Structure 1
Amino acid sequence: MPDSSGKASTAFRTIGELSNDTGLPQHILRYWETRFPQLRPLQRAGNRRYYRVEDVALVRRIDQLLNRDGYTVRGVQQLLAAEKGAPPAVAPEIVAPAETPITSLRAIRDMLAEALAAD
């Protein structure tokens, strides 16, 4: 499905296209690359940047946090770093930290059996 630039939503974007889509100046996008290690567009010959779909989403998120939600650059850096290092969320009632794998699997089995019986 094409967007406002006429490209498919999964197509790579140049820095100019991303700048036009987001309304952010190109120098700001290049600055953000130096401040946010998560933002790494592909660079081809002549340092031409190509932003992937994930990069575009990250730029929009950084823009939202900085320019609309009032975060500082340092605050956004900390937020993104914390999200990167955060372990996946696990329901605490399923796996307690002191349980062995067998115990936790049995607890899951029992919960599933109860759910089937209630159905």
Structure 2
Amino acid sequence: MSDPGAAAVPLFDDGKAEGAMRTIGEVSAAFGIKPHVLRYWEQQFPMLKPLKRSGGRRLYRTEDVQIVEAIDRLVNREGYTLKGARKAISAQGVQVNPSITGAAPAIADTAGGVSQDKVGSTSAPEVTQQLRAIRNKLAAALD
């Protein structure tokens, strides 16, 4: 549905290496997300755990940046709730997406619908068929 090229890709044009740790300010600026929102996401997403230095200074590793990118994409562009985004990220794991920071892992795209793996006890084609039937019933009810 969404064009992968249209997604906002953070550009860390600060002279640091691709895998360098980033401060909360750098991550905030790259994604256009306020630092207090990033701190809140740390509470809501247990997989997001930046390193904390003395004085509480946060340093985001490459993995943390990809998780922030995935949360931002799911919540702000695809309309997921925080709970739904947390489930999607937990269920999918981390996969490679070179568009983020070179060869860094990122969360798999969910815009295409149900993954090809089993969802509960129903396969993706069965879920798609069920959803189409529901859509048709709803369209018929509106006529």
Q: Same fold judged by TM-score > 0.5?
A: yes
Cα distance in 1 between the residues matched to 2:41 and 2:68: 9
1:33 and 1:5 mapped to 2: Cα distance? 25
Structure with higher Rg: it is: 1
| 2:16 aligned residue | 7
The one-letter amino acid of 1:39's match is L
Q: CA deviation at 1:28?
A: 0.5
Q: TM-score, normalised by structure 2?
A: 0.55
1:48 aligns to what? 57
Matches within 5 A, 1:23-42: 23-42=32-51
Higher fraction of helix: 1
**How big is the shift at 1:35?**
0.1
CA distance in 2, matches of 1:63, 1:72: 11
Q: Which of 23, 27, 31 is the matching residue for 1:18?
A: 27
**Which string of whole-angstrom CA distances, capped at 9 and with x for unpartnered residues, describes residues 63-115 of structure 1?**
0000001100010111122235xxxxxxxxxxxxxxxxxxxxxxxxxxxxxxx
For each residue in 1:10-67, what CA deviation from the matched residue of structure 2 results, as whole angstroms up to 9, or x when unmatched? 1000001111111110000000000000000000101110000010011011100000
Is the CA contact (8 Å cut-off) linking 1:5 and 1:17 kept in structure 2? no
- Residue in structure 2 matching 1:60, options 54, 66, 69: 69
Distance 1:26 1:3 in 2: 16
